[in-house]
């Protein structure tokens, strides 16, 4: 007989079971903190074995525990069964029983919400979490399920996302040391950034939240943290830390293929980009010379320096060569080049292509928030005001990259063939991340 069962003779059976369930969750949450990352693949099976051992105690103490507090017994057993990533119908049944017996058992409402969440019933989960409006777990869970709610239009969608951000913020305020709440807050900022307003402040807040999350040992082994951090870093074109984040997420959860795919696709994109920059978009010298000969200052459109129209000078910017750009923002400068190739990416975060200027310097250009079907074609003249230059130079897993890239946050600043692009070229981008597990890792949609 175990020590826990020995104690049951002198203490409440419910207390014994509560301690067993707590131990079960600690086993799951701290699994990779006590083992090498190579054991990550065994985690799910080992957690299920620990669950079976825990359920034996429920079988042995069922009569005594139910006599003490039937609702608490059903809740604890339901919570134990809810420890795995998959939905368990028996867990949902037990938790529903617990609530029928005691509707004030707030922790049971949370657990039932997780069950419905895993079953795909986000509306049902929302109702459960709303029963506990002052609890950090309920609040961060609400932040997630709110974003799953259907919306009739963009205005309603914006309202939902803003409410989600409020709930995530409240969760962090209740316990600033809880890394999982910081993960959800970071994801909320990320969704807000891509779905509402491309504010650099929002992206910085997302990355700052992920940095805070990493201070918590439990969050340190949450693959969702590193996956979402990787998305934010990739948008910033901080490619090396993005690849490292995707790699870490994949190592923490080898059964989750999305981080591996993100890493693979990003590496393919970088390899292709480098090849196209090196070969001037694979254009033949004669064809390239012909295209560049057609470049004219009139293609600068409103950014043309000395031209006048109707007696009034146009917007003044200094036209510089691509090779003369400095890393970061090049204020009051404009570059002009010809599109020499498209740059296909399986990732839809940005539209990418290569441009070459009259000096035959070739760079990658990534344009974010470009509406579908509004891309550019080879031979187009592109003027980019105040270009933001990123120097890509690093090695990752024996693959080396070295080329320059210009990041354009919105197509509305571009001038194509002498004309500014209209608002119909702009579109919001939504981020897709991991489906939530019972560790409350976040996902966005």
pLDDT at residue 14, rounded to an integer: 96
In angstroms, how far is CA 280 from the centroid of its own chain?
33
| Backbone torsion region of residue 286, taken as left when φ is above 0, otherwise alpha when ψ lies between -120 and 50, otherwise beta | alpha
Which of 91-95, 319-323, 432-436 shows the lowest per-residue confidence on average (mean pLDDT)? 432-436
Distance, in Å, from the CA atom of 24 to the CA atom of 56, rounded to the nearest integer, reads: 13
- In this predicted structure, the answer to whether residue 351 has a pLDDT above a threshold of 90 is no
Q: With contact defined as beta carbons under 8 Å apart, do 108 and 128 qualify?
A: no
Q: Note the pLDDT of residue 369.
A: 79
Q: What is the pLDDT of residue 428?
A: 55
> Can you tell me the distance from the alpha carbon of 224 to that of 155, in angstroms, rounded to the nearest whole number?
28
pLDDT band at 348 (very low <50, low <70, confident <90, very high): low
Higher pLDDT, 330 or 155: 330
Distance CA 81, CA 71 (A): 16
Give the tokens for residue 51: 């669950």
Question: For a pLDDT cut of 70, what percent of the chain falls above it?
Answer: 90
The predicted pLDDT at position 151 comes to: 86
Give me the pLDDT at residue 315, please: 61
Strands 419-420 and 415-416: antiparallel
* Per-residue confidence (pLDDT) for residue 306, from 0 to 100: 43
pLDDT tens-place string over residues 149-196: 888 888 899 999 999 999 999 999 999 999 999 999 999 999 998 888
The span from the CA of 107 to the CA of 420, in Å, is 56
**Average pLDDT for residues 101-109, to the nearest whole number?**
96
Residue 80 has pLDDT above 90, yes or no: yes
Residue 437 has pLDDT above 80, yes or no: no
> How does residue 424 score in pLDDT terms, banded at 50, 70 and 90?
confident
Judged against a pLDDT cut of 70, whether residue 404 lies above it is answered with: yes
- The per-residue pLDDT for 430 is 46
In the predicted structure, residue 427 carries a pLDDT above the cut 70: no
Contact 137, 164 (CB under 8 A): no
1 pLDDT higher than 60: no
Helix/strand/coil (H, E, C) string of the chain?
Answer: CCHHHHHCCCCCHHHHHHHHHHHHHHHHHCHHHCCCHHHHHHHHHHHHHHHHHHHHHHHHHHHHHHHHHHHHHHHHHHHHHCCCCCCCHHHHHHHHHHHHHCCCCHHHHHHHHHHHHHHCCHHHHHHHHCCCCCCHHHHHHHHHHHCCCCCCCHHHHHHHHHHHHHHHHHHHHHCCCCHHHHHHHHHHHHHHHHHCCCCHHHHHHHHHHHHHHCCCCCHHHCHHHHHHHHHHHHHCCCHHHHHHHHHHHHHHCCCCHHHHHHHHHHHHHHHHHHHHHHCHHHCCHHHHHHHHHCCCHHHHHHHCCCCEECCEECCCCEECCHHHCCCEECCCEEEEEEEEEEECCCCCCEEEEEEECCCCCEEEEEEECECCCCCCCCCCEEEEECCEEEEEEEEECCEEEEEEEEEECCHHHCEECCEECCHHHECCCCCCCCCCCCCCCCCCC
Whether domain 275-425 has CATH 2.60.40.2250: no
For the domain 3-269, what is the CATH superfamily, name and number? Answer: Tetratricopeptide repeat domain (1.25.40.10)
Tokens 């957690």 correspond to 47
* Residue in this structure with the two tokens 């970061």, named with its chain if needed: 328
Give the lowest-confidence range in 35-49, 197-211, 310-324, 330-344.
310-324
Domain ranges of the chain: 3-269, 275-425
* pLDDT class of 345 with cuts at 50, 70, 90: confident
Query: Going by C-beta distance under 8 Å and a sequence separation of 6 or more, which residues neighbour residue 413?
Result: 384, 385, 386
């Amino acid at each position: 007989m175990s020590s826990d069962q020995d104690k049951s003779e002198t203490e409440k059976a419910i207390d014994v079971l509560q301690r067993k369930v707590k131990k079960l969750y600690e086993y799951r949450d701290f699994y990779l903190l006590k083992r090498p990352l190579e054991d990550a693949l065994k985690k799910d099976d080992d957690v299920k074995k620990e669950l079976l051992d825990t359920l034996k105690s429920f079988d042995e103490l069922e009569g005594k525990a139910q006599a003490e507090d039937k609702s608490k017994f059903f809740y604890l057993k339901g919570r134990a069964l809810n420890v795995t990533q998959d939905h368990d119908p028996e867990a949902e049944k037990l938790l529903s029983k617990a609530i029928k017996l005691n509707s004030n058992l707030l922790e049971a409402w949370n657990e039932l919400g997780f069950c419905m969440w895993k079953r795909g019933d986000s509306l049902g989960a929302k109702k459960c979490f709303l029963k506990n409006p002052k609890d950090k777990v309920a609040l961060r869970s609400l932040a997630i399920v709110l974003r799953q709610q259907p919306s009739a239009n963009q205005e309603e969608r914006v309202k939902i996302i803003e409410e989600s951000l409020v709930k995530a913020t409240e969760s962090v305020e209740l316990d600033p040391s809880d890394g999982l709440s910081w993960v959800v807050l970071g994801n909320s900022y990320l969704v807000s950034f891509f779905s509402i307003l491309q504010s650099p402040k929002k992206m910085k807040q997302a990355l700052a939240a992920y940095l805070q999350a990493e201070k918590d040992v439990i969050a340190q082994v949450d693959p969702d943290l590193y996956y979402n951090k990787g998305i934010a870093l990739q948008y910033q074109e901080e490619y090396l830390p993005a690849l490292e984040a995707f790699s870490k997420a994949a190592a923490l959860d080898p059964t989750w293929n999305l981080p591996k795919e993100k890493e693979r696709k990003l590496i393919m994109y970088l390899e292709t980009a480098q090849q196209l920059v090196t070969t001037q978009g694979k254009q033949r010298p004669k064809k390239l010379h012909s295209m560049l000969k057609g470049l004219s200052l009139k293609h600068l459109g409103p950014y043309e320096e000395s031209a006048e129209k109707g007696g009034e000078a146009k917007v003044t910017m200094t036209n510089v060569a691509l090779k003369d750009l400095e890393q970061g923002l090049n204020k009051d400068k404009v570059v002009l080049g010809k599109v020499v190739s498209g740059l296909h990416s399986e990732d839809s975060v940005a539209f990418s292509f290569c441009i070459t200027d009259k000096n035959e310097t070739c760079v990658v250009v990534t344009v974010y928030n470009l509406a579908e079907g509004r891309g550019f074609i080879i031979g187009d003249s592109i003027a980019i005001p105040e270009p933001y230059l990123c120097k890509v130079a690093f090695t990752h897993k024996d693959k080396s990259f070295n080329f320059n890239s210009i990041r354009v946050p919105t197509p509305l600043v571009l001038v194509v063939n002498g004309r500014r692009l209209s608002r119909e070229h702009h579109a919001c981008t939504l981020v897709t991340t991991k489906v939530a597990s019972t560790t409350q890792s976040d996902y966005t949609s």
